[in-house]
């Protein structure tokens, strides 16, 4: 048996994504390159590692055991690299962060300077919805989570980063009915929601419930980008974070509808479990934020 570390990494990514296409994207490889490495790895085993049913790729029970072993090997290789960097006096290790989807407009700016100053650190950043982010935190799969609404019943430490403002927006051609303004506007529009579990949706529903706003028509879409495109296309209006639509507002593709009680103001918080024993890398990142947070905000979010 003569498999390579690269083949282990490719097979592990395929087993995680259940897709050659997605594995290729995340590894920055072409699909043929991933397929070749997967085949070369499979040829060293008499038992199938994967199987395709219909058009869906599945990992066999034996393949799952090999994936578990592959992860252990890769972790050990990473540990060797971290120890070598530490011996040279460099901060090294892995920083694992999960962010709610709108946080993708925020967290990179707080990471870039830290990673430039510590090139031996490996970043794993997962961008998903709030429910999955909290699940990853509770399961101790990550060091930190970026959220705009703190989770209930989960004991966490929170590091406030910056304000998050949500406003009611419409497409450039939207015209409210004659004589209708303020909170009454909700009776005449199709309101576009994010999916259940989204922090933006929770904030929106909180506002609507507090003001006893009746909703006549609604659509549900599964990403901030999908909502933004739908609003620009004139399918309806939505309450959205300014951070994710600032370019569209500047260009006039979206416009803010003034409503009493808006904007909703929450805060982007980097959170971690109170019971979490932070790694040296995680501790260093917190120290970096304490020193540089205000500078990052001034340079990127004014």
Where are the domains positioned within the chain? Answer: 5-85, 91-162+267-300, 164-266
- Cα–Cα distance, 206 to 213 (Å, whole number): 10
CATH of domain 91-162+267-300: 3.40.190.10
> 214-247 in b/e burial notation, b at 16+ Cβ within 10 A?
eeeeeeebeebeebbebbbeeebbbbbbbbbbee
Confidence category of residue 85, pLDDT binned at 50, 70, 90: low
User: Which two tokens mark 139?
Assistant: 């399961």
Asked if the 164-266 domain carries CATH number 3.30.70.270, the reply is no
CATH of domain 5-85: 1.10.10.10
Angle in degrees, CA 258, 201, 255, rounded to 5: 30
Q: Which pLDDT score, from 0 to 100, does residue 42 have?
A: 92
Q: What is the pLDDT of residues 117-160, one digit of tens each?
A: 888 888 999 988 888 899 999 999 999 999 988 988 899 999 99
Longest CA pairwise span in the chain (Å): 77
Label the pairing between strands 156-171 and 254-256.
antiparallel
- Cα–Cα distance, 261 to 206 (Å, whole number): 11
Q: What is the pLDDT of residues 233-266, one digit of tens each?
A: 999 999 999 988 989 999 999 999 988 888 999 8
Q: Are domains 91-162+267-300 and 164-266 of this chain identical in fold?
A: yes
Confidence category of residue 89, pLDDT binned at 50, 70, 90: low
Which of left, alpha, beta for 234 (phi over 0: left; psi -120 to 50: alpha)?
left
- The residue-averaged pLDDT of 6-22 equals 90
């Amino acid at each position: 048996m003569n498999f390579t570390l690269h083949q282990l990494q490719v097979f592990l990514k395929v087993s995680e994504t259940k897709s050659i296409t997605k594995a290729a994207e995340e590894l920055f490889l072409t699909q043929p390159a991933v397929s070749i490495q997967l085949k070369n790895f499979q040829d060293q085993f008499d038992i199938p590692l994967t199987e395709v049913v219909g058009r869906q790729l599945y990992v066999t029970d034996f393949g799952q055991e090999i994936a578990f072993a592959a992860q252990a090997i890769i972790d050990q290789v990473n540990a060797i690299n971290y120890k070598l960097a530490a011996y040279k006096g460099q901060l090294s290790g892995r920083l694992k962060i999960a962010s709610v989807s709108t946080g993708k407009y925020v967290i990179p700016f707080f990471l870039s300077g830290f990673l430039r100053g510590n090139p031996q650190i490996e970043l794993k950043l997962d961008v998903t919805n709030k429910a999955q982010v909290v699940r990853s935190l509770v399961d101790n799969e990550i060091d930190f989570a970026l959220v705009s609404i703190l989770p209930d019943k989960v004991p966490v430490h929170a590091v406030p980063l910056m304000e998050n403002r949500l406003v009611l927006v419409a497409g450039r051609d939207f015209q409210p009915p004659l004589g209708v303004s303020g909170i009454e506007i909700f009776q005449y529009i199709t309101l576009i929601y994010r999916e259940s579990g989204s922090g933006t949706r929770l904030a929106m529903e909180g506002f609507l419930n507090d003001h006893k706003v009746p909703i006549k028509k609604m659509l549900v879409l599964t990403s901030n980008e999908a909502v933004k495109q739908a609003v620009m296309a004139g399918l309806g209006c939505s309450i959205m974070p300014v951070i994710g639509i600032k370019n569209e507002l500047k260009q006039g593709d979206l416009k803010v509808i003034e409503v009493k009680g808006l904007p909703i103001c929450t805060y982007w918080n980097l959170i971690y479990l109170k019971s979490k024993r932070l790694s040296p890398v995680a501790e260093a990142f917190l120290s970096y934020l304490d020193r540089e947070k205000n500078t990052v905000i001034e340079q990127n979010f004014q």
